[in-house]
Structure 1
Amino acid sequence: MERVVVKSDSGVTGFAPGTRVKLVEDRGEKLFVTNDDNIRFEAPSDKVTNDLDLAALAARQDAQSQQALAQDMKERMDAYRAGKEKEIPLYDQQQREVEARREAAANAAKGNNPLDREAYHEKVSYPWWWHRHPYIYVRSSSKH
């Protein structure tokens, strides 16, 4: 036994194996049935049985397979989370190393910028016009 999928205007509905249905109309290969919620649908005759023991067995097997699937998914998720938890300290260590390298590079670069140093070609830094260069002429204000 397997699930029966019913398409309707409102979407798709799946009926699990062992779902109780009532026969409305028998058309040979196709059966029209209703479930407990009075949803009428068409089901292939090979997916419907009148043997209650077989239906109960199908429902039990479906429930067991669903539980096994849920358990497997839970185990996989737990393993994934455990792996991620192991990676967190590694990521933290890498982040600390990157931060330490960044700080070391910033400290090493201090003073290497020419704008951070004093003038290296003069002992005293004065504007050019204070040195009385020969190309600057000073006129005296007195007349001779």
Structure 2
Amino acid sequence: MFTKQNLLATAAAAVVMFLLGYLLWGIALDSIMKSHTITDVMKPDEEMNMGFIFLGNLFAALAMATLYGKWARGYHGVSEGFTFGALIGMIIGLGMGFVWLGTSNFMDTTGHLVEAITDIVYYGIAGVVISLVYKATAKKDAA
């Protein structure tokens, strides 16, 4: 289950997800998301725990890399990686987003839709990274 290929893809995706998450939610979408959050549920910046955030990204990357290894069936490319990651993003952004919209007051509808689109792009990029690592570490056929 945890091959060298899987662990390298996990490590690469975890780092990309951690940094990309900061760029997307921490910088680019910060004011948009805050303006569509209904209640003050976010911790102030000084209380954010980067260790837990990275750990969450690490486990998400491990699950994605493991699933990708089974899903891709040896076809590793940007398109396959993005498609795989975007599907994961749809599960989280649209699937869970609509459940949260129906059960909580975390964000308004616009906030959830922006979050869903961002999740699809974010996980799509993570899928590309995983795919490229799998491609780079795939055993070459002896001709």
Q: Which has the higher strand share?
A: 1
Structure with the greater alpha carbon radius of gyration: 1
Which structure dedicates a bigger proportion of its chain to helix?
2
TM-score (norm 1): 0.29
The TM-score, its normalising length taken from structure 2, stands at 0.29
